[in-house]
Structure 1
Amino acid sequence: MADRTPHPRSADLAILGDSVHVHPSTTTPESGSPERSLLEPYAKFRQDPLSAFQELGLHLAGTEWRSYDKIIGQPIFYPGFSENMTEMVMKQKKLQKRIAELAQKRVEVEIHEGLLGPTGVEGEEQEHRTRRLARRRQIEDELCGVAEKWTDQMICKMDSKYFIRSAYYIATQLLTRAYHQGIHVNSDEVLHLRNVAEKAAAKKQSIIFLPCHRSHVDYVSLQLICYRLGLALPTVVAGDNLNFPVIGPFLQHAGAMWIRRSFGDDRLYATLVQAYMDTLLQNGFNIECFVEGGRSRTGKLLQPKFGILSYFLESIMSGSIEDAVICPVSTQYDKVIEVDSYVRELLGQPKPKEDLMSFLSASNVLSLKLGRVDVRFKDPWSLRAFLEQQVSRLHKETTSLQTMYDEALKRKLLSTLGYKVLKDINDVSVVMPTALVGTVLLTLRGRGVGKSELVRRVDWLRDRVRAQGGRVAHFVGVKTDVVVDKALEVLGPKLVGSVEGLPEATYYAADRFQLSFYRNMTIHLFISQSLVCAAVYTKVKHGGNDQTQQISHAELHDYVLFLSQLFRAEFIYPTETLTETLKTTILGLENDKVLQTTHSNTTNNSAPIISLHPQELASGRENFTFYCFLLWPFIEASWLGTISLFMLTPRWAKSRDVEEKEEEGKEATWQDLTSFQARAQLLGKTLYHQGELSYFEAVNKETLKNAITRAEEEGIILVKRGKGVPARVRLDSEWIPERDEEGRVVMRGRLWELCERIGAGRRRGGNAVRTRVLALVEEVGRGLFGDAVPDPGATGSDNLRRRNMQLTKALL
C-alpha cells in the first residue's frame, strides 16, 4: 500500500561515494531514479578496472571536494600537529599542578621512611632541604616523562592530509559495500549543522557530537559525513581495547584518541585526560564520544554514562573554556553488523578480545547487502546556556557556574545532561523497515503471518510511529509491500523464515532473540502505552465478564508506577510527571479505540474505570496485545531475576531459627556474584525450554543484570565488592524466605510477594510461583552453597572457576 498520509518532512540527502543525491519527500521518484545508483557507489576493480583506478586517482590527487582544503573548523592536518598537541597538553596548569602535588606527596613518604635524612637535626637542615628539593624535581621530571609518553599514546594524530584522503576512500569503499544503499542524512539538518559549525569556528568553539552507540560503524559513518560536508573531523573518544596492531595506529591517525576503560585510582591519568579535553575545547577542535559508554547489545538506548561528560562539565564550570556546542546524533541501520556476536555475549559467552584476526573475520560481512545507514542530527545547543538554565532552576538566585561549583551540583547537572542527550537522540531517530518488520513478527500471537497481513500491520505500525512523533525511513513514494520485501531481504532467512508450498507467502520469526534487537529500536516510542496496557492486562488475563476485566484508575496508576520503577534502568521515560503521562497516554489509547474510560455510577465525580474498548474486543485485541507484547519480555526478565534470588536462600533459613543463625551463618551465605548470575541465566534457559517462560530473550545477560542491580538498589540483596576480589552477594535478612521442616521454601514473605506482583503482568501462568518452579530453582542453585563435591587437590578459586566454566558451557 502506498503512503496514504502526507507527512511533511525535509528532503533526504544520500551521501554515497562522490555523489550527493537529494530526494524530496513530497515527490515520488520516477522509475530509474538516482537512488538506484546507491547499489554501486564505486566502480569495482573486477568489473570496471579503468573507472576504479580513475576514482582512486581523484582521491589521491585531491580533486575538488576530495582535497579537503577548505574545512569548516580549526586546522588539523599539517606536519607537526601531534607534537604541537602534546606540547599544549603538557602546558596545562591542571596537569602541572597535579604533577607537583604527586611529587610532593612522594617526597613526604620518603621523608617518613627516612630515605631523605632525619628532620630537625641542627646544622643539617639546609643540606636535607636541598636534597629533598632536588628529589622532588627529579620526581616531577619523571612524572612529566610518564605524562608525555601517555599523551603520545592517547592523542589522535591527524598529521597527514594525504593519509586522511586515502582513509576516506578506503572507509567509503568498505562501508558502502556492506551497506549497499549508502549513508542517508536529512538535508535541512546537515545544512543547519554547517551554519552552526561556521559560527562555532568563528568563536573558536568546539562541536561535541554525542551519538548513540550500536555498532563500530557509528564513528566511521559520522567521520565520512563530516569529511563529505567539509566539516573538521572530530576527535573520537575510544576505548584502548581497539588499539591493537595495524588497526589501532590507522584509527589513531584517522581521528581516534585512546583512553583506558577504567582509570582506577590513577589521579595522574585522570588529570591528563582532563588536560587533553581542555586543550581540545580551548582550541575549538571537534569531539565525538558516546553518551552510553559502550555499544548497546539490545538495540535500545542504554542509560547514560557520565565519565567523559564529566570532563566537558569540568571544563565549563572551572572556567577553562567559555562554551561548547552539543550535537546529539542518532545512527540507525537496516541491519547491524555485530548482532550475531551480541547474541552470543547476551547468552553468556565471554566477550572476545579485540584483535586483528577478529577485525579481518568481520570483513566477511562486506560482501553482504545490509541496506542503508540513516544518520540524523538534533538541532545543536549551547552547553553553557544549558548549564546556566539548570543552575537557575535549582537555585532561585542568579549565580555564576564557578561560584556554584560543587560535587552535589555536578552530579545533578551530569544526570540532567545525560538524559537530555538521550531524549534528543530518541527525538530524531529514524525507525528502519527492518525494525518495523521485526516488531510486527514479535508482536503477533500466531506462529507465522501471511504477506498481506504482514504488510497491513507494518502500515499500521508506521502510522503509529508517526503519530508518536517518530520518523520512518524508506517509505517516500514506495509501496509498503516493496519496503517489506527489501526488509525481509536484509534480515535474511536466518532471522525471518518462510513456509513453502502455501497459497500465500507466510513468514515467521526464525530467530526471536536476534529480532528482538530490531524490535527494541521502536519500543521507546510506545513505552507509556505498553506500561498502561500491561497494567490493564493484569485484569484482562483472568477472563470472565466485563466487570472482572476492568481496572480502577487508582489500581492502574499504582501498577504503572510499580512497573516504571521496576524498569527504570531499562527505558528512557517522558520528562512529564507520571500523572501527566498517564492522562495523555490513556486519552491517546481512547482516541485509538484501544481502551475506554467509564465511571462506577452515572456521575462523573465517581471513580474512573478503565477497560478494553468494544471495537478493540471486536478486532481480537490485536492493538492492545501489540503494546503488551512489547513489554512482556522485560516483565519476564524481571520476574526471572527475582525468582532467581530464591537461590540465595540459606539452607538454615527455617522460621524458628533465622534469628539465632543469622550472625552465625552470615559468612556462609555470601556467594560469588558471577556464579549467581550464570546460574540465574541457566535457570532462565531451563524454564524457557520447560514452558515456564514465554520469551527466550528474557534470559539475556544485560536485562538480568539490570534486574539484579535493581534488587541491590532496593536493598533486597547486599553486594560486597573489593579491589582485586570477586564481588559477592547475599540476601538481606529482611528478605530471606523461610523454609519448612523438610527444608522447602515456604510460599510467603516479602520476596514471594514481589514475585507475585511482577508475575501479575506476565503473559502466561498464574500469579503465584508453582512448586515445580521453586524445586528447579533449588536444583540450579544447589552448587552455590558448596553442595557440589569439590576437587580435593584444587583451591577454592580453582573449584569456583571450574564451576563457572561448566555453567558457561551449559548456557551455550
Structure 2
Amino acid sequence: MSSKASSRSSSRSRIAKRNAEAQKASSPDIDILDEGVRIHYPLVPGQAGIGKGEAVSKDEGSRMLSPSLVHFRDAPLDFLREISLHLSGTGWRGYENPIGQPIFYKGYCENMRHLILTNEKLRKRVFELAKKRVDDEAREGLLGEEPNPGVMQLKKSKRRRDIELSLWEVADKIVDGMICKMESKGFIRGAYYFCMQTLARTYHQGVHVSTEEVLRLRACAALAASKKQSLIFLPCHKSHIDYVALQVICYRLGISLPNVVAGDNLNFPVVGSFLQHAGAFFIRRSFGDDKMYPAVVQAYIDAMLQNGYNMECFVEGGRSRTGKLLPPKFGILSYIMDTILSGRAEDAFIIPVSTQYDKVIETSGYVNELLGIPKKKENLMDFLSSSSVLSLRLGRVDIRFHEPWSLRSYIDEQLTRLPPNLPEPDRKNKLLRTLGYKVLADINAVSVVMPVSLIGTVLLTLRGRGIGKAELVRRIEWLSEQIRRKGGRVADFGSVGTETIVERGLEVLGDLVGRRTEEVAEECFYAKDRFQLSFYRNMVIHLFISETIVCCAMYTKIKQGGGPANQLVPYAVLLDHVSFLSRVFRKEFVYPTDGITVNLRQTLLGLEADRVVDLVWKDGEVGGEIEAVELAREERERGREQFDYYCFLLWPFVEGTWLAAVAVLGLTPPFGEEEAWVGAGEAMEMAQLLGKTLYHQGDLSYFEAVNKETLKNAFEQLKSQGTLLTSTSASVPPAGSTISSAFSTTSSSSSSTTPPTTSKPPKAMLRLSPDWAPTRNERNEILPGGKLWEWTEKLAKSRREGKNRRDAPTVERRVMRLAGRLGLELIREGRVESRGVLKGRARL
C-alpha cells in the first residue's frame, strides 16, 4: 500500500473513531421511556440499563445527565443530526406528556390570569382597599356635603366601584408582568437546547445526578400528579446556573417544569421575556407600602398550589457570596405556608435541592462585592453571551435531591409541639422559622463536596506556606474520610485515583492555586488567591461546625503552651466559652437542634473517638459526668494536625467578628458627648478599611475577615444583643455640627430608637448603645472598659495567636487608636456629603 493510501486509510479510521465517540456522546445516557427511566451502560457498571422494576443500589453514586455536545467542526453530520432531533422532538426531546399538570398549551397564560384574578382572597382585599379609600375620602370631605344619608351611601357605592375598577386594572398589570408564560412547546425545546449548549461549554464534565434520587423524584412527581398537588423545589443558590440546571433536569426526566421565582432585577428587555417563557415568574425584592402587590402574589401562589403546578424558589433568597448556606428568607415560604395552613390547597411536596459546582463562574465578582466594590446591576444577557464564559472548562455540576416530604404532614406535626394558647402570628412565625431551617439542614444533608472544595480546604488549613503533591493527596484522602464519617458526601469519580482527581481539581481552580516547580525537590502548591479559595472552603465547614467551636474554645487554653497539665480545660469553663461562641455565630451557621449541652457532649465523645481529646471523668466514672478536657497524646504526637484543622476552619469568622466589634468600639461618642449616629453603610466601609489596614500591619491574620457578609452578620448579631441601636428614619447631621444639639438623648433600653429626621432621604442609621459603650478621655482616646470591650476581649481569646500579639493585650493600644480615630472621623464628618473620602482611602 502506498504511503498516500495508508494516510487516507489512517485518516478515515480517525474520522470513524471520532464520529463513533461523537455519536456516543450525543446519545442520551438517561432515556425517558413509557415504562420508566433507563440509564445507559457504562454509566451503571455491569448493567445494560435500568428499567421498570429494577432496583438501584444506594452506592451507585453520581451519573452524568448531560453528555458533551457534538461540535460542528468535529463532526458536522452528527451536529446537524442532533439539531434535527431537537427540532423534530424525537424521543425524550419531544417532552410529550410530562409528569404533572399540563403547562405548554395555547391559553395557559389566560387560564392562570383567570385563576389569579378570581381568587376569593384577592377579591376581598380589593373590596377592603376600595372601602377604606372611600371612607377616608368621605372623612376628609372629598365626596362633598350630603345631608341625605341614602344619597351619600349611593355616592360612596359608586365611588367604591370606580376605585375597585382601578384596582383591578392595577392587579391585571401586576399579573401581566409577573406570571410565567409557558405556552410554546417549540420554544421550550429550543430553550432546552440553548441551555444545554451553555452548560456543556461551561461545565464540560456535565451535570451529575444520583440514579436513586432520580427514580425517587419521578415516583414522587407521579404521586403528586395523581393528587393534583405541587412539587416545591427549594434549592440552595450559588450561581445563575442553578435554575438553568434544575430546569434541564426536569425537562430531561419528563417532569413538568417548575415555575421559578425570580427577582424582578432580571426582568429587562429580551432576557426577561425569554425567562418568562422558559418558566420564570418575577417578584419584586421589596413590596414597600404597596397594599395590592402582596395580595396578587398570594393569589398567584394559591393558583399554582391549588392546581398542582410545580414551583421552584431559593430558600436563601439571593446567591451566597461566601460558599456556605445563608439564613433562610421567609417571603415566598410565608405565602406557601399560608396557602396550606389555611386549607386553600390540600398539600404540596417539599424537595430540598443541593447544587454544587467544581467552580462557580461568578466567584471573582463575589470577591469584588465582598471587598466593598459596588455591585453591578444584574445583566444576564452579558453573562450568557460572554465568549469567555461560554468557552470555560469549569468541571462539572453535581445536583442532589433530598427525599420529598409532605408540607401538610410537617405542619400538622409541628403544630402538636407548639403551645395551644400561642397567638396566631407567633404560631406562624415559629412554623416558618422551623420550616426554613429544616430545609437548610436537608440541603446540607445531601450536599456533595467537590474536589475543588477539598483542595481549597486543605490549602487554607495549613500552618506552612505550601504543601507537596504527595502530602496534598494524603490530606485530601484524610479529609474525604472525615466527611464521610460525619455523614457527608464526596463527589463520586468511580475508579479514578485521588491523584488524578486532584490534578483535575487544580486544573479547574487555575490561577487560584500557585505551583512551584523550580528549585524544589518536589512540586509544591500554595493558596494564591485565599479570598476566592475561601468560597470553596466554606462549602465544607457546616459538616464540622460543632468540632470547630469546641476546638476554638479549647484553644484559649491550648495556646498558653506548657505541659498537658497546664492545658487542661475544666468542663465548666469549656461549656461557658462554647455557649459564648455559639451565640456569637448564630447568624452564620446552622447548629444541631438537640441543645448546647447534648451537642457538646456528643461532640466531645466524637473527638475522643478520633483521639483528638481525652476526657477526664468525674470520680473516674467513664460515661458519667465530664470534669475536664485535654488534648489526646496521639494528637500531640501528630503535631495537633486535626485539632488545628478544626480551628483553621473557624478562625477567619472569629477574626471577622472581632474586627466588627473593634470597629463598633471606634464609634464610641466623642469626649463629653452621650450619643453619635452614623450611617450603617458608612460604618461597614469603615470596618472594611480598618480590617485592610490591620491585615497589612499584621494585626489581622485573615484577609477574608474583611468580607462584607461576615461583617454584616456580625453587625446583625451586635444589633440583636442590644450592642447597636438602629434607626431607619433619620439622617446624620451635617459635617461640623454639634452632635449633642443635633440629636436629643434617647433611651438606651430599646434596641431601636428614632432620632429626629431632616430633609435628607431616610437611610439606615446606627449608634453604640450607652449600656455597652466605653468612654473617651480629653484626648478622645478610647479607654478600656465597658460591656463591649469585655465581650471583644472574650472573643479575642479564640483568635489565632500571632507574633504581633504575643507581647500585649488582645485589643492593643495601636489597634484601638486606629479604630478610635476612624470612628471619630466618621462621627464628626457625618459621611453624608463626603462619601468618597473613605472609598478613596480604601483605594490607596
When the two structures are superposed, what TM-score results if normalisation uses the length of structure 1?
0.90
CA offset at residue 477 of structure 1?
1.3
Report the CA distance shift for 1:134/1:37 in structure 2 as closer, same or farther (over 3 A).
closer
Which residue identity is paired with 1:540?
I
Q: 2:725 aligns with which of 703, 718, 727?
A: 718
Which residue identity is paired with 2:464?
G
1:695-774 alignment, distance < 5 Å = 695-722=702-729, 724-764=761-801, 765-766=805-806, 768-774=810-816
CA offset at residue 126 of structure 1?
3.6
Asked if the contact 1:157/1:254 (under 8 Å) is kept, the reply is yes
Match of 1:801 in 2: 835
CA offset at residue 350 of structure 1?
1.1
CA distance in 2, matches of 1:590, 1:25: 40
CA offset at residue 53 of structure 1?
1.7
- Percent identity (aligned): 53
Which residue identity is paired with 1:783?
E
Per-residue CA shift, 1:479-510, capped at 9, x if unaligned? Answer: 11111111101111234444434221100000
Which residue identity is paired with 1:806?
G
Q: 1:233 aligns with which of 235, 243, 257?
A: 257
CA distance in 1, matches of 2:349, 2:336: 11
Report the CA distance shift for 1:610/1:82 in structure 2 as closer, same or farther (over 3 A).
same
Q: 1:438 aligns with which of 448, 456, 461?
A: 456
Q: 1:383 aligns with which of 387, 399, 407?
A: 407
SS in 1 for 2:776: coil
Is residue 2:820 matched to residue 1:778?
yes
Report the CA distance shift for 1:37/1:476 in structure 2 as closer, same or farther (over 3 A).
closer
Q: 1:503 aligns with which of 517, 521, 526?
A: 521
1:9-88 alignment, distance < 5 Å = 18-20=28-30, 41-88=68-115
CA distance in 2, matches of 1:615, 1:16: 53
CA distance in 1, matches of 2:273, 2:306: 26
SS in 2 for 1:267: coil
CA offset at residue 725 of structure 1?
0.6
Q: 1:629 aligns with which of 627, 648, 667?
A: 648
Count of residue pairs brought into register by the alignment: 764
Per-residue CA shift, 1:49-105, capped at 9, x if unaligned? Answer: 222121111111100111111210000001111111111110001111111111111
Report the CA distance shift for 1:534/1:16 in structure 2 as closer, same or farther (over 3 A).
farther
Match of 1:8 in 2: none
CA offset at residue 160 of structure 1?
0.2
Report the CA distance shift for 1:807/1:392 in structure 2 as closer, same or farther (over 3 A).
farther
Is residue 2:556 matched to residue 1:532?
no
CA distance in 1, matches of 2:254, 2:619: 67
Which residue identity is paired with 2:144?
G
1:665-684 alignment, distance < 5 Å = 666=675, 669-684=676-691
CA offset at residue 143 of structure 1?
0.8
Asked if the contact 1:27/1:477 (under 8 Å) is kept, the reply is no
Match of 2:497 in 1: 479
SS in 2 for 1:328: strand
Asked if the contact 1:349/1:808 (under 8 Å) is kept, the reply is no
Structure 1: give runs of 5+ residues left out of the alignment. 1-13, 398-403, 654-660, 789-795
Report the CA distance shift for 1:262/1:37 in structure 2 as closer, same or farther (over 3 A).
closer
CA distance in 1, matches of 2:87, 2:63: 27
CA distance in 2, matches of 1:496, 1:418: 39
Residue range with higher mean Cα deviation, 495-504 or 19-28: 19-28
1:80-159 alignment, distance < 5 Å = 80-119=107-146, 121-122=147-148, 125-159=149-183
CA offset at residue 223 of structure 1?
0.4
SS in 2 for 1:530: helix
Report the CA distance shift for 1:395/1:716 in structure 2 as closer, same or farther (over 3 A).
closer
CA offset at residue 802 of structure 1?
3.3
SS in 2 for 1:171: helix
Match of 2:21 in 1: none
SS in 2 for 1:492: helix
CA distance in 2, matches of 1:606, 1:356: 58
Q: 2:280 aligns with which of 256, 272, 275?
A: 256
Report the CA distance shift for 1:607/1:94 in structure 2 as closer, same or farther (over 3 A).
closer
Asked if the contact 1:107/1:136 (under 8 Å) is kept, the reply is yes
CA distance in 2, matches of 1:235, 1:80: 16
Q: 1:245 aligns with which of 269, 272, 275?
A: 269
CA distance in 1, matches of 2:579, 2:188: 52
Which residue identity is paired with 1:100?
F
Match of 2:54 in 1: none
Residue range with higher mean Cα deviation, 472-481 or 451-460: 472-481
Q: 2:507 aligns with which of 465, 489, 492?
A: 489
CA distance in 2, matches of 1:489, 1:308: 39
Report the CA distance shift for 1:496/1:385 in structure 2 as closer, same or farther (over 3 A).
farther
1:205-224 alignment, distance < 5 Å = 205-224=229-248
CA distance in 2, matches of 1:447, 1:100: 69
Greater length-normalized contact order (CA 8 Å, ≥ 6 residues apart): 1
Report the CA distance shift for 1:606/1:590 in structure 2 as closer, same or farther (over 3 A).
closer
1:539-550 alignment, distance < 5 Å = 539-550=557-568
Structure 2: give runs of 5+ residues left out of the alignment. 1-23, 31-38, 49-61, 731-760
SS in 2 for 1:768: coil
Which residue identity is paired with 1:739?
R
Per-residue CA shift, 1:511-568, capped at 9, x if unaligned? Answer: 0000000000000000011111111111111111222211011111111110010000
CA distance in 2, matches of 1:292, 1:232: 24
Asked if the contact 1:596/1:610 (under 8 Å) is kept, the reply is yes
SS in 1 for 2:701: coil
CA distance in 1, matches of 2:463, 2:387: 38
Asked if the contact 2:512/2:532 (under 8 Å) is kept, the reply is no
Match of 1:792 in 2: none
CA distance in 2, matches of 1:396, 1:93: 29
CA offset at residue 747 of structure 1?
1.8
Report the CA distance shift for 1:356/1:312 in structure 2 as closer, same or farther (over 3 A).
closer
CA distance in 2, matches of 1:300, 1:24: 34
CA distance in 1, matches of 2:814, 2:64: 60
Q: 2:369 aligns with which of 341, 345, 354?
A: 345
Report the CA distance shift for 1:37/1:328 in structure 2 as closer, same or farther (over 3 A).
closer
Which residue identity is paired with 1:71?
P
Asked if the contact 1:637/1:704 (under 8 Å) is kept, the reply is yes
Match of 2:736 in 1: none
CA distance in 1, matches of 2:226, 2:65: 36
CA distance in 2, matches of 1:300, 1:439: 13
Asked if the contact 1:180/1:371 (under 8 Å) is kept, the reply is yes
CA distance in 1, matches of 2:409, 2:781: 60
Match of 1:658 in 2: none
CA distance in 1, matches of 2:95, 2:599: 48
Per-residue CA shift, 1:248-288, capped at 9, x if unaligned? Answer: 11011000000000011212100000000000000000000
Report the CA distance shift for 1:805/1:417 in structure 2 as closer, same or farther (over 3 A).
same
Is residue 2:330 matched to residue 1:306?
yes
When the two structures are superposed, what TM-score results if normalisation uses the length of structure 2?
0.87
Report the CA distance shift for 1:135/1:807 in structure 2 as closer, same or farther (over 3 A).
farther
SS in 1 for 2:589: coil
CA offset at residue 130 of structure 1?
2.4
CA distance in 2, matches of 1:156, 1:510: 44
Aligned CA-pair RMSD: 2.4
Asked if the contact 2:513/2:525 (under 8 Å) is kept, the reply is no
1:320-719 alignment, distance < 5 Å = 320-355=344-379, 358-360=382-384, 362-395=386-419, 406-599=424-617, 608-652=627-671, 661-662=673-674, 666=675, 669-719=676-726
CA distance in 2, matches of 1:336, 1:646: 36
SS in 1 for 2:208: strand
SS in 1 for 2:232: strand
SS in 2 for 1:526: helix
Which residue identity is paired with 2:772?
W
SS in 2 for 1:184: strand
